[in-house]
Amino acid sequence: MRYYLWPVGTKRMLGVTAGPRLDDADDPILPSDLKRSFSDVEAIYGEFEVCPFTLEREGAMRLVCVESAKKLVVKRRPASTKQ
């Protein structure tokens, strides 16, 4: 499963990985409570502390690991749209 962060108020995405390549996304570095199935989750909002692996470049996804996550709010999908 791949994880992405979308900083609110921006048009950019952060890819959560285990290193400086998107191929490292199969075993991302993130808190253990976030390593679970999210099949019924539409979004998770919160305060994430990230550690960048790559520089920020226009038009490119920045790769990061998640050091910590707090004040999490889980928005679940309605029952009729669960996959």
Query: pLDDT (tens digit, 9 = 90+) per residue, 7-61?
Result: 989 989 999 999 888 787 778 888 887 877 677 888 889 999 999 999 999 999 9
Q: Residue 63: in which H helix or E strand, if any?
A: strand 62-76
**Cβ(34)–Cβ(69) below 8 Å:** yes
Residue type, 36: R
**Domain region containing 14:** 3-81
Mean pLDDT of 51-78: 92
Domain count, the chain: 1
Q: Model pTM greater than 0.85? A: no
Task: Indicate the length of the chain as a whole number.
Answer: 83
Residue 81 scores a pLDDT above 60 = no
Residue type, 56: E
Residue 83 scores a pLDDT above 70 = no
Residue 78 scores a pLDDT above 90 = no
